[in-house]
Structure 1
Amino acid sequence: MGVLITGNVGGWESSNPNRNITYIKGAGAATPDSSLITTSSSLRTWTNTTFNANLKHTFDSTGKELTADVDYSVYNNQMIERGMVSRFYKYVDKVETEYNTPLNITSNSPNKYNIFAVKADYIHPLAKAKAKLEFGVKSSWVKSDNDIRFFQNGAVDKGRTNYFIYTENINAAYANFNKEFGKKFNLQAGLRMEHTRSEGKSVTMNESRVRDYVKLFPSVFLTQTINKNNQLTYSYSRRIDRPGYNSLNPFIYFLDPYTYQLGNEYLTPQYTNSFELTHSFKQSFVTSVGYSITNDFMSEVIKNAVNVPEVLEKLKKYNNIQGIDPEKITFATQENIARFENLNVNFSVPIPITKWWNSQNNISVFYNKFIGEVSDQNLNVGQWAYNFYTSQSIKLPKDLSAEVSMWYNSPNVYGIMQGKAQY
């Protein structure tokens, strides 16, 4: 039995003000007709504490084993944006002229997360059958408390202040079966069941949404040993990706007078079915081919406020947009937009060049395709892309070493976004 307590305290403050310039133009216009310049400085502090109690018990020499863990974590984070000043400019006869009264805004965003989890796992070997059974259960409880406060010219800005509480309880149970078939094959099959109950509550807007669902997640891995140098692995798995807590907050979060972030209380998890074939040569050179289908794919979308009347009404109710052209106001949100298909080929190639120089290289070639509907428009886009990563490790005299690495991501499509090359 063991007990572990860890914690950390820290913080940082920006030494120089951040300065952002946004150029604004009307729909269909070739050049901007106005601009927005925002300056601000930031202060962030955090205090995190984690407690763990664990137990391990071996029943006999056959390898029967029971393990249990209890975890409790508290995370306190605070972000303060000070002196956020927004100034508006119009271009009149190609001359930039300031208009409207500058906004002087300060925000204070304390976030607190409480996470409690308990789990137990049991291993039951079947020596005569060259097999093993594994069973486990886990329950977790999460509470996220986010109280974002805005102040304008020293007074509380009730229109931009936002208080959101999210609670989530996940109960899961799983069973795994592992067996060797002769000297050539090893099979691992498993099934996990999850029951999720969550509630997102906007205290500010007096809105809440409860979700309650049960899902199954199977997985199968079959390993084939061809000879001492070559091995194949065939796999299938199903997984879930849940929305971030704040992604479910229906409040409109202020970024600047023309840009907002909106949570989506109707956002649902996405589910992915993955198939993969992997070849390993001398347990070093690895090649894999994979295909996956993701349903209810979550993607960020950017919309114009005038095209979504209910959002425009929220802006008028909770934010001061007087003097702002509604046609130039945009907001970002997440939606379940599409089915996402991914085909990928991956190569991992380690190259020992000399005794003192090793090279590790990874290449991925993939095709992403998205099919669905965004803002009542059909979406059907796809594109080939590739990633490359290389790392060179060099041993130097006197137990010194050096490492040089580089990476490159080609242009690619992701949902409605078109990404540029990165390196």
Structure 2
Amino acid sequence: MYNNRYFYFTFFLFILNQVTSYAQHETLSVSGLVLDTQTNEPIEYATIAIMDTQSKEAITGTISAQDGRFSLETDATNFYIDISFIGYSTKTIHTFNRENNRIDLKTVLLEPALEGLDEVLIQAETSQTVFKLDKRIFNVGKDLSASGASALEVLNNVPSVSVNIEGAISLRGNEGVQILVNGKPSVLAGDDGSSLGIITADMIESIEVITNPSAKYDAQGTSGIINIILKKSEKRGLNGSASLNVGVPNSNSFGLSINKRTEKFNLFSQLGFGIRTYPTEYESINADLIDDITITNYGDSEFDEKFGNILIGADYYINDRNVITLSGSYAYEVEDQTASSEFYQTDASNTVTDRWHRNEYTEATNPKIRYELQYKSDFKRHEDQTLLFSALGNYFRKDQTSQFDNITTFGTMDSFKQQSRTDYKLEDYIFKLDYTHPFLEHYTLETGSQYTLNKVSNDYAVSDFAGGVWIEDPFLTNVFDLNQNVFAVYTTAAYEANKWGFKLGFRLENTAINTLLETTNQSDDQNYTNLFPSAYTSYKVSDDFSLQLGYSNRINRPSLRQLNPFSNIRNNYNISEGNPELQPEYTNSYELTSIQKYENISFSMSLYYWYTTDVIEYITVSQSNVSVSRPENVGTNNTIGFEANGKYSPLKWLTIHGDFNFNYFDRKGLFELQSFDFTGNRWTTSITAKVKLPADFDFEISENYNSKYETLQQTVSAINFVDLGVRKKIVKGRIILNLSIRDVFATRVDETTTTQPDFYLYNSRQRGRFVNFGISYGFGKGEAMQFSGQRR
């Protein structure tokens, strides 16, 4: 019995060996279809690997086509199949049917792997910062690109950059930062940053942080630049987000963002609409120190805004090296504002002599159109050799009417009514051409040009109600036209080795400005040409410590509000107006920065010096308790300062951001034979703690403090306020719940005082506490992009 069993067993092994030996010479065909388990969309470029069972190493493999299908052949006999794609859980198949030397896997569904970030951090490439001559580059690694994070979350991982829980972006504690996409303004980088919600981490190649911009960039002053570099042709299928927000005061909005990538096209769109309310409490005191007459005003206002917007765009990939982008957006806003103010006048004995109400009713509509065309070409010769052309257009219009009723409740002052009308139109066009040419091994030449056209028309009228009819006031009625054209050319040359490098650049700008008051035929023409040099050098002490030294010359051209001579009659006793003869400011900026990285700390310190000429300051004069503020060019300003900012993660669940900025200034000014020489200092600091709590809760609290400081005539009071927020992810990050509170203790009050020999002014303004709750749902491959469509 035993011998028979042994014989049969031996015979079985012999037959099996023969069959196996024969099969080793047979070729197997493996095919199938890879789909997203949630959207049923095909997954292009998924990796299909034939893995050896014993060694666990890949024997052969392929990638899926645009429709998700794949096919490959193998001679292996002892194997299993792995199917994977970035951002998805790997599918491992050990059991499959062979028929006629074919294995048909039919449909393979991949599940997004949103919860596996910690594992990816261990196995995959991590994000890192590279120090360049005039900027820092944060290369986005797989730890972020595979996580389904939004562009805002990527920015929050960049040293010196902070994004609060509402999505507001700041650079070294300053929110006045310009956001670029691929080196240029874009409809994806609007002022509120909400359009960034349709950019996911896997679309981003790197983030460039520029604190002292070179000659390549517009010489118009800015606190810094954040440039988001998108990958050339990543095909990621469909992803998007829908958001709903409610708040107190009224802050309700809905937003929808969608992005779809195919082999030739990247389609993106965004839709949003909502209503918001901004309440304000204010107080002002106008004291005539000669006649001892004081007018005090206190009241509140409510600004209601209804808005809707839509954005549509597409990238078309002509081939691997050429891409065209066309995009546009349209927004429409309806504004209503009501204000109720109480005025009273007192004499030298502090006795009330007159009292009256002033009520305001304002309505406005604002259509906005923005569109963009871009062409980018990469050269085969070098990966960094590029040619970029872009054209950006912007149109904005405001039709506004206001009515003011003064009702006397005590005293002899007559009641009266006023009306104001504004028909405002703005058109901006930017044409930009940039070429980058690397040569030899360490040298790069950049050159390009930019043409900017600004056209503004403001038809403004003030009318008084008399004799039952409205009569326009000729002294407060006019049409103001502004045309500003800026043409610029630039070139930079750089040498950059492993340890040391330098970069020199020159930018030549010609500015032509024409202002015209049509009714009175008053015009002012300005035409000037400026050369703006820049120079940078850096030394890399080690991989974790670098020094950067930079110089740039900048210009700050007056804004429309500063040039427009019309008076604001919202408060007849505190009037502000523009100055069409205002000249631009010029600043020489020097900066020495050290950047240090430790295992869980990034720290930056800067010493800076600014020398500014033709400084723009508001000069206030007062007569008969009516103060008029007007911008003027007054002298020079020397500023020396120190700035430090850092990001510290002592624990996996805790990250602390801190910013501190101190500067000392020395002003030299003379205006209408009056000396305005003075010295002073100011400092700001902020600290933010971000805590990851169990059950996918995130908590954030930040405190901000701005010190008291002085201008030519004013003293600006200190401000201290606290913001906090809580966020909860559910359904593997597909849904995000968010609660945020701005100015938790309602301590953010803007206060200014002006003390002069013949008058005293005091003004305060407070918005109060804002509470907002939002829910966002993400579909496709990414997490929910919170606050998409929300307008600030």
Q: Is 1:344 matched with 2:677?
A: no
Task: Give the Å deviation of 1:350.
Answer: 1.7
Q: Which of 442, 448, 455 is the matching residue for 1:143?
A: 455
Higher mean C-alpha deviation, range 394-403 or range 107-116: 394-403
2:389 matched residue in structure 1: 68
Q: Give distance in 2, aligned partners of 1:276 and 1:201.
A: 40
**Residue 113 (structure 1) aligned with residue 460 (structure 2):** no
Amino acid corresponding to residue 223 of structure 1 in structure 2: S
SS in 1 for 2:579: coil
Q: Which amino acid aligns with 1:173?
A: V
- Tell me: higher relative CO, structure 1 or 2? Use CA pairs within 8 A at least 6 residues apart: 2
2:336 equivalent to 1:13: yes
- Within the candidate set 406, 411, 423, 2:703 is matched to 406
- Map residues 244-263 of structure 1 onto 2, 5 A cutoff: 244-263=559-578
Secondary structure of 1:99 counterpart: coil
- Residues 202 and 249 in structure 1, CA contact (< 8 A), matched pair in contact too: no
> How far apart are 1:290 and its partner, in Å?
0.6
Residue equivalent to 2:619 = 301
Matched, 1:80 2:375: no
Please identify the structure whose Cα radius of gyration is greater: 2
Q: Whole-Å Cα distance in 2 between the matches of residues 35 and 219 of structure 1?
A: 58
Residue 42 (structure 1) aligns with: 362
Distance 1:30 1:100 in 2: 19
- Give the 3-state SS of the residue equivalent to 1:247 in structure 2: helix
Report the alpha carbon displacement of residue 222 of structure 1 after superposing the two structures with TM.
0.9
1:56 maps to what in 2? Answer: 376
Cα displacement string for residues 307-362 of structure 1 (whole angstroms, at most 9, x for unaligned residues):
xxxxxxxxxxxxxxxxxxxx333211000012111111111122224221211011
- Distance, in Å, in 2 between the alignment partners of 1:142 and 1:212 is 15
Unaligned runs of 5+ in 1: 90-96, 306-326
What's the % identity of the aligned pairs? 22
**Residue 132 (1) aligns with residue 444 (2):** yes
Q: Distance in 2 between matches of 1:387 and 1:261?
A: 27
Map of 1:213-292 to 2, 5 A cutoff?
A: 213-282=528-597, 284-292=602-610
Deviation at residue 2 of structure 1 after TM alignment: 1.8
* Amino acid aligned to 1:410: S
Q: In 2, Cα distance between the equivalents of 1:386 and 1:236?
A: 23
Native 8 Å contact 1:87 1:98 kept in 2 = no
Distance (Å, rounded) in 1 between the aligned partners of 2:389 and 2:345 = 57
**Alpha-carbon spacing, 1:122–1:410, altered in 2? closer, same or farther (3 Å):** same
Shift of 1:373: 1.3
Aligned residue-pair number: 388
Between stretches 99-108 and 404-413, larger displacement belongs to: 99-108
Aligned-pair distance for 1:260?
2.7
Moved more, 266-275 or 367-376: 367-376
TM-score, with length taken from structure 2 = 0.47
Per-residue deviation, 1:22: 5.3
Query: 2:678: which partner in 1?
Result: 381
RMSD: 2.2
Q: Shift in Å at residue 33 of structure 1?
A: 6.1
Tell me the residue number matched to 2:491. 175
Is the contact made by 1:361 and 1:389 (CA closer than 8 Å) also made in structure 2? yes
1:362 has 2:659 as partner: yes
Instruction: Decide whether aligned partners of structure 1 residues 213 and 7 sit closer, same or farther in structure 2, where only a CA change above 3 A counts.
Output: same
AA aligned to 1:290 is Y
CA gap of 1:342–1:25, structure 2 versus 1, over 3 A, is: farther
**Which of 628, 633, 637 is the aligned partner of 1:331?**
628
Tell me which amino acid in the other structure corresponds to 1:334: P
Matched with 2:416 is 103
In the aligned structure 2, how far is the partner of 1:142 from the partner of 1:387? Answer: 34
Check 1:3–1:25 CA distance in 2 against 1; reply closer, same or farther (3 A cut).
same
Q: Closer, same or farther in 2 for the Cα pair 1:240/1:35, shift >3 Å?
A: farther
CA distance in 2, matches of 1:213, 1:400: 56
- Cα pair 1:200 1:249 within 8 Å, conserved: no
Call closer, same or farther: CA 1:51–1:156 in 2, change over 3 Å: farther
Aligned match of 1:315? none
Q: Residue 221 of structure 1 contacts residue 234 of structure 1 at CA under 8 Å; is this kept in 2?
A: yes
Checking the alignment, whether the CA contact within 8 Å between 2:606 and 2:643 is kept in structure 1 is yes
In structure 2, runs of 5+ residues without a counterpart are 1-323, 721-792
Cα gap change, 1:197/1:23 in structure 2, threshold over 3 Å: closer, same or farther? farther
CA deviation vs aligned residue, 1:188-245 (integer Å, no higher than 9, x gap): 2211110011101111322010111100111111111112221111011110001112
TM-score, normalised by the number of residues in structure 1: 0.86
Is contact 1:202-1:250 (8 Å) kept? Answer: no
Moved over 6 A (4+): none
Report SS of the residue matched to 1:226: strand
- 2:393–2:429 contact (8 Å) kept in structure 1: yes
Partner of 2:692: 395
For 1:34 and 1:240, the matched residues in 2 are separated by 48
**1:183 alignment partner, SS class:** coil
- 1:317 counterpart residue number: none
* One-letter identity of the residue aligned with 1:167: N
Counterpart secondary structure, 2:562: helix
SS at match of 2:691: strand
Per-residue deviation, 1:385:
2.3
Structure 1: which amino acid aligns with 2:678? V
